[in-house]
A and B are shown apart, each in its own frame.
Chain A
Amino acid sequence: MGEFVLLYRGGERPGSPADGQQVMQKWMTWMKALADKGHIIDRGQPLERSGKIVQAGGRTITDGPFAEAKDVIGGYTLIKANDVAQAAELAKGCPILERGGQVEVRPVMKLEM
């Protein structure tokens, strides 16, 4: 059993309230299924599409990333699964995939081997 962060990248934003309703419905259904099977540790949050980027030893703060960039992280969820393969399987149900987005599945570094 391990913990995994799901990072949601890209994906077409809903165009209309009807579209928004459908997308919201799909997310809730998928997350509920994960929760029912005991996988959700933290449902997570959506993120504003842009902010600041701090670089170069802290000397540079620029605006970024840009909302138009294809793989901007839009949100995250923390789940538990047997291994990364299972975590990736679970991520297959994410609605962002039908909207041209992707899910990055990253194991949380364990303290012990």
Chain B
Amino acid sequence: MENLDQLFRQESGRLVATLTRIFGLHNLALAEDVVQDAFGRAAEVWSYQGVPGNPAAWLMVTAKRRALDALRRERTARTFAPEVEHLVKSEWTAVATVDEAFSAKAIKDDVLRMMFTCCDPRLAEEMQVALILNILCGLSVGEIAAAYVSSEAAIEKRISRGKKFLADSKLLFDVAAPTDFAARLPSVLRALYLLFSEGYHGASPESVIRTELCREAMRLVAQVIEHPFGSTPAACALAALMCFDAARLPGRTDDGGALQDLARQDRSKWDHALIAQGTALLEQSAIGDEITAYHVEASIAAVHARAAAVGETDWREIVYLYDELLRIQPSPVVALNRAIAVAHAEGPERGLAEISAIPDISRLSGYPFHEAALGEFELRLGRHAAAREHFEAALANARNASEREFLHNRLRACLPQLTGAIRT
């Protein structure tokens, strides 16, 4: 039996997006109320009559009816979307107009339109992502707060400010205008990248929510690529990156849910269909002369995905790719990841040298994986006391239970060798 809250996450975004096109962006709240109402009715009616054979269709019909009720009720008090204002206010044409809005052809672009509207560069990135999660992915304030390990009050404020901004902008983004589309696309890709990263690397201990964030990001980027203006090299590269990372999600934690070291991940759990999809998208993204950070990150992920075991990874290729990434998007974290790759390719001593050469390395203080990397190199060099110190420092900076457990395990790997002969 279908879960009502799953259905909400799957269907509500599309319904809100379509209703907003009829009601107008300034009436986004009304659109959300109508959809909430439809789901409330579903809970009541299905309690008596059971879940219908096609729940999504039932919900859509109910949403249409409630929309017509809302249009009648609010006719004198509000204005609606300018393009349909007179049509929906007339008894003769209201029903046909709503029907037309919900036709398969019309609905297709609604989600994209809403996505692009939310990714207004005048809004802070985290606000754009929160709006997408709330409006298009059907996540509640509580669910978003849990995913970001933030307070509900903070998320509530962020979302309501964002929605006020949208209401004041009055017009949905026009996805049919090629120049505007191209100009807005980088914002959209960035928001989806952040959404995916939150799911993949995020601090929330709830692995269910995290996988869902990744899935949502992939679903939305697929919609972007489907649009004639959307299958740009950058978009395809981002989609490829998501496929490669998502493919490796199953192996990233062990059966107990603990984060696994790259060397210890069970690669048999990797999703090879997703890897194939990523490879195809990466090829598609290679058309033209645009190289973005997404291209490079996707290529790095591809190298990992190609290796049947950590020992077979082409680390030199990865170092070369990180050189590229540093050129496009210099940052201490990228430099750190490059140093780790160098260590794999040329030995831990070289890794230590690379890390100490990182400019503005002080920006990494508080980042647990800086100390953890130093710990790994010292461990590999047999310097267990030094390794232990670094892992303890890393542990002090751990941001959640997953990281703590992972670092405890690394610490434990240093300890047995400390008994007996002292080696420094």
Residues of A within 8 A of B (CB): 13-14, 16-18, 20-21, 23-24, 27-28, 31, 43-46, 74-75, 77
Query: B140's contact among A16, A24, A28, A77, by CB below 8 Å, is which?
Result: A16
Counting CB contacts under 8 A, is B8 at the interface? yes
* Residue in B closest to A32 when the chains form the complex, CB atoms: B50
Given A16-B140, A17-B39, A21-B3, answer yes or no on A28-B47 (Cβ-Cβ < 8 Å): yes
Task: Name 23 interchain pairs, CB-CB below 8 A, sorted by A.
Answer: A16-B140, A17-B5, A17-B8, A17-B12, A17-B138, A18-B4, A18-B5, A20-B43, A21-B5, A23-B43, A24-B4, A24-B43, A24-B46, A28-B47, A28-B50, A31-B47, A31-B48, A44-B48, A46-B44, A46-B47, A46-B48, A74-B44, A75-B48
B residues 1-49 in Cβ contact with A at 8 Å? 3-5, 7-8, 12, 39-40, 42-49
* Residue in A closest to B41 when the chains form the complex, CB atoms: A46
Contact: B47 with A27, CB < 8 Å? Answer: yes
Residues of A within 8 A of B43 (CB): 14, 20-21, 23-24
Residues of B within 8 A of A24 (CB): 4, 42-43, 46-47
A-facing mask of B42-77, CB < 8 A → 1, else 0?
A: 111111111000000000000000000000000000
Shortest Cβ gap from A28 to chain B (Å) = 6
Known contacts A21-B4, A44-B48, A75-B44; 17 additional CB pairs below 8 A are A14-B40, A16-B5, A17-B12, A17-B39, A18-B5, A20-B5, A20-B40, A20-B43, A21-B3, A21-B43, A27-B47, A27-B48, A28-B47, A31-B48, A43-B49, A45-B48, A46-B48
Shortest Cβ gap from A58 to chain B (Å) = 27
Residues of B within 8 A of A20 (CB): 4-5, 39-40, 42-43
Residues of A within 8 A of B3 (CB): 21
* Residue in B closest to A13 when the chains form the complex, CB atoms: B40
Query: B47's contact among A13, A16, A17, A23, by CB below 8 Å, is which?
Result: A23
Residues of B within 8 A of A (CB): 3-5, 7-8, 12, 39-40, 42-50, 138, 140
Shortest Cβ gap from A49 to chain B (Å) = 10
Contact: B40 with A43, CB < 8 Å? Answer: no
Contact: B4 with A43, CB < 8 Å? Answer: no
Given A16-B140, A20-B42, answer yes or no on A43-B48 (Cβ-Cβ < 8 Å): yes
Which of A14, A16, A28 has its CB near the most chain B CB atoms (within 10 A)? A16
Residues of B within 8 A of A31 (CB): 47-48
Residues of A within 8 A of B48 (CB): 27, 31, 43-46, 75, 77
Which of B3, B4, B46, B140 has its CB near the most chain A CB atoms (within 10 A)? B4
* Residue in B closest to A45 when the chains form the complex, CB atoms: B48
Shortest Cβ gap from B222 to chain A (Å) = 24
Residues of B within 8 A of A28 (CB): 46-47, 50
Report the Cα distance A31→B138, complex, angstroms: 29
The 8 closest A-B pairs by CB, nearest first: A20-B43, A27-B47, A17-B8, A21-B4, A46-B44, A17-B5, A18-B5, A24-B43
Shortest Cβ gap from A61 to chain B (Å) = 19
* Residue in A closest to B3 when the chains form the complex, CB atoms: A21
Report the Cα distance A27→B40, complex, angstroms: 14
Report the Cα distance A21→B140, complex, angstroms: 14
Shortest Cβ gap from A90 to chain B (Å) = 16
Report the Cα distance A16→B39, complex, angstroms: 9
Report the Cα distance A75→B5, complex, angstroms: 23
Residues of B within 8 A of A43 (CB): 48-49
Report the Cα distance A43→B44, complex, angstroms: 13
Report the Cα distance A28→B1, complex, angstroms: 11
Residues of B within 8 A of A75 (CB): 44, 48
Residues of A within 8 A of B12 (CB): 17
Residues of A within 8 A of B49 (CB): 43
Report the Cα distance A18→B3, complex, angstroms: 9
* Residue in A closest to B43 when the chains form the complex, CB atoms: A20
Report the Cα distance A97→B130, complex, angstroms: 36
Report the Cα distance A27→B45, complex, angstroms: 11
Shortest Cβ gap from A74 to chain B (Å) = 8
